[in-house]
Amino acid sequence: MSRSLLAIAIFAVCSVAAFGQTPEAKPTPPANPKYDAELAKKLGADNMGMRSYVLVILKTGPKTIPAGKERDEMFAGHFANMTRLAKEG
């Protein structure tokens, strides 16, 4: 009986001690003196001043189109579409 009471008492003391602790406060990082919030907002950057970019690597496929009017028209249409997409954002 006394061992049971001792075990319960130890468990109770440990439980109270475990829940009585407060989490450690995380230090705030120092402000960056070079960061310009207005410029970041104007350029569409995030809160760290960064913007997302997409890198595209083009690879020539197995089919070749000989130089001529047909290929020039395809490239003209392709670049017109890229220009349109760039203007739309």
By mean pLDDT, which of 12-16, 42-46, 54-58, 63-67 is the weakest? Answer: 12-16
Q: How many domains is the chain partitioned into structurally?
A: 1
Predicted confidence (pLDDT) per residue in 8-27, tens digit: 888 777 776 667 667 778 88
Q: How far, CA to CA in Å, does 38 sit from each of 18, 35, 64?
A: 46, 9, 49
pTM of the model: 0.33
The answer on pLDDT for 7 being more than 90 is no
Tell me the C-alpha distance between 18 and 4, whole Å: 21
- Find the domain containing 27 and state its range: 1-88
According to the model, what pLDDT value does residue 89 have? 78
